[in-house]
Structure 1
Amino acid sequence: MSKTREYNVKLAAMGILEPELHYGIYARHWWTSRPSEKNQNTEKFLIPIRPGQKSIVILNQRQFTIRIVKLLDNNIYIPGYCAESLELSSEISISSTAAITSLYQQLFNKNTKFSGPLLLGWDDNEIIKELSSDVCFFPFSISYNKLNIFIHGIGVSNKLELKNAGDGYHATILHFYKKKRSYFHQFIQNNTCKIQIICENRIEVEYTDNTPQTVWEKVWNDSKVLYEYNGITLFGINSSKTQQQIEDLKRLTCTTTEWNNQDQMNKLYNYYIKRHIKSSNINWYKLFLTWIEKKITIIELYSELSKIYPLNYKLKNEEIGRWKTFLKAVGCSNIASFTTEESKV
């Protein structure tokens, strides 16, 4: 059995996590498993593919850099890879292996082939640790025969018909709909189950109902796609992995007496807000310190948020919803809703 060759890879830039990419509808394209685990039938730990990541390696006494970019393909962004050495660079490719191999062969006129994932450092424990250091939630996949369900968001509720899944839960299936490759985006919003069927970054049709089974029955009334499964299986919420994640999230809460514990508060903020919303850096923790110091018991959310966001910043419904969920998780109650579609802070 041949042994995988080891390379001395240095991480020059770790790149960034983007909520729209890493936790959005097309999130499955922005996570990968370790190269050494690709062919193993075990649960795989996923690594974020981060735009802006740069890795450096020496091949045949020459320095090469591999970087990750966003590549527009069929109206969606997927990872693109470019290899560089001094003044030369490869074409941007959807394959890191193709990018580094093509440049190496151009320079040395050899047929040598390299593993792009290995040269990016995705089998190096220290590099993986750094790339994952600011990840609050790791998506995961569930497989039933040839069906793959990608879970890229977890939310909790007390609803037994949802098996305690709740707002913030997102799962996507890549399958054919009317002979077109489509994304079946399943999510829970306001404790209601929704399915969007998306093709070429356009919502073809959307269904809403109270449970996974009843919303899928609406899909089946129009098309028999995935008819061999039941709704709760397709949503992925009955798998042991999902149920464990839901139980873990239930414990990701605190009371108002724990607001002085900044480490715990950071974990909660990162999970409920930061990983979902890309916004300017705000001193959010200052709000809690003020509330503790002044012993404030009634908070008007709109005016309080205006103190930490930039002047004229427009706070959207999604952000308000995330803040309400976050505040509920840290012990607040009776959080009022905004009625306007978009609030100006």
Structure 2
Amino acid sequence: QCQMYSLDYYRSKTICAKYSARGKNFIDTGIVSDTIHGSRNFTNDAMYLLHVPGYICQSEALRSNICKSSSEAITSTYQQAFFSKTRFDGLLVMGFDNSEICKALLTDIYFHPYTFKIGNIINLNVFGIGKSNNPNWKYAGKGYQSSFVYNFRKTRALFFQEFSNKEAIVKIYQNSQEIYVFRNTDPNTVWNQIGILTQFTGCTLFGLEHEQTKSEINNEQTLTCTVEDWQ
């Protein structure tokens, strides 16, 4: 936990972000940053819920819901605390405008999650990379994970996609509950089972056709052992 007593806004953020970055992987576990305002201490936390990033802001007994943006989380808690209509830029409050903080957070992180559009109707999040020798998977493998939000049977749903050692898997969540799991030998077949978004191939919906994904898979290190390694 990082406690700050300095009233110097940027200095406070820098100290906290550097402390939070040590021993933590920002991409996996999030960052906790504290901001002092008046007599209250605000703690901002980035997290993942059901494979979608979310944010929480807490101040003493007040705690926001899990929000889609840091701005929403921080603003809602601040407004409860001070009965104010003031709004905040969450990225600035968490210190992401400071190059030193960003540099510290990205130290020793070889992969950064990224987002891109598919056909201007899907925002696909890729937050894990794995490699295999399977050409039907575009050489992705176990560890590769992607997700997007779309309608399924007239209800908004989260589609979470991954690979096991032998199968392509799509899990569908509605109202924070896993409701369906589809699995088959390759992404195209599993999406044929699901039966929606048929204008795209399964490989496209998994994100495997995107140039950045191809590059990330190509750069992924695959652990191999030779006979000599065991001697």
TM-score by length of 1: 0.51
1:50-85 CA-partner distances (Å, limit 9, x unpaired): 3xx12335x5xx4653313589989x994311246x
Distance 2:49 2:141 in 1: 32
Counterpart-to-counterpart distance in 2, 1:206 and 1:111: 43
How far apart, CA to CA, are the structure 2 residues paired with 1:170 and 1:71? 16
Cα deviation code 1:69-118 (max 9, x no counterpart): 589989x994311246xxxx644343123323543x44xxx654332321
Which residue number corresponds to residue 339 of structure 1?
A: none
Offset, 1:248:
0.8
Where does residue 172 of structure 1 map in the other structure?
Answer: 147
1:65 maps onto 2:41 in alignment:
yes
* Percent of paired sites with the same residue: 23
- 5+ long unaligned stretches in structure 2: 1-8, 68-72
What letter is aligned with 2:128? G
Task: Tell me the equivalent position of 2:109.
Answer: 135
User: TM-score, normalization: structure 2?
Assistant: 0.73
Task: Say if 1:218 and 1:65 are closer, same or farther in 2 by CA, change over 3 A.
Answer: same
1:227, distance to aligned residue in structure 2 (A): 2.5
Q: Which residue, out of 168, 171, 176, partners 1:193?
A: 168
Tell me the equivalent position of 1:92: 64
- For the pair shown, the structure with the greater C-alpha radius of gyration is 1
Structure 1 unaligned regions, length at least 5: 1-6, 24-47, 254-328, 334-345
Match of 1:331 among 222, 225, 230: 225
Q: In structure 2, what is the Cα distance between the partners aligned to 1:65 and 1:132?
A: 26
Give, in angstroms, the shift of residue 172 of structure 1.
1.1
Structure-2 residue corresponding to 1:81: 57
Q: 2-side partners of 1:163 and 1:189: how far apart?
A: 14
Match of 2:92 among 106, 118, 140: 118
Q: Secondary structure at 2:87's aligned position in 1?
A: coil
User: Equivalents in 2 of 1:236, 1:242: separation in Å?
Assistant: 7
Residues in 2 aligned to 1:138 and 1:71: alpha-carbon distance in whole angstroms: 15
Alignment CA distance shift 1:227-1:17 (3 Å): farther
- One-letter identity of the residue aligned with 2:102: I
Q: Say whether residues 1:55 and 2:29 are aligned partners.
A: no
Bigger drift between 186-195 and 62-71 goes to: 62-71
Q: Which residue of 1 aligns with 2:70?
A: none
| Residue 157 (structure 2) aligns with | 182
